Amino acid sequence: MNYYHSKILEGKDFDAVRTEVEAALKEEGFGILTEIDFQATMKKKLDKDYLPHVILGACNPTYADKVVSIEPHISTMLPCNVTIREMENGNIEVTAIDPATAMAVVDNNDLIEHAEEVNEMLKNVLKAL
């Protein structure tokens, strides 16, 4: 079972894809809470070179409120990560976590309905690209 969904985009600029991803997330009601520049972090911490790669911590406040109200410790699994990375062949891959799969380990059926709804929203983001 995959714990993520991804889409590969050919012939696009990394920064342009990032702009598209952020717009598609906003359209689905997500904001960006965190950002990790994986490329810069690996260079700084390990002096290792990576192609452009960012991790965006996306949050839909309505759904975050719903799941934290059901299970307060679920906040350890928030926000939903969406990654954008340049591949060796120059293509850009956008990947989003499958929150339904991730939250299945919590064993609380009340969460699954919401996680599946968020999962569909994240898949819509990828479709929009």
**CATH number of the domain that 47 lies in?**
3.30.310.70
**Residues 3-37: b if buried by 16+ CB within 10 A, e if exposed:** eebebebeeeebeebbebbbebbeebebeeeeeee
Cα 105 → chain centroid: 19
User: Which tens digits make up the pLDDT trace of 10-35?
Assistant: 999 999 999 999 999 999 999 999 99
Q: Can you give the pTM of this predicted structure?
A: 0.94
What is the span of the domain harbouring residue 24?
Answer: 4-128
pLDDT score, position 1 = 67
Residue 107 has pLDDT above 80, yes or no: yes
Query: Number of folded domains in the chain?
Result: 1
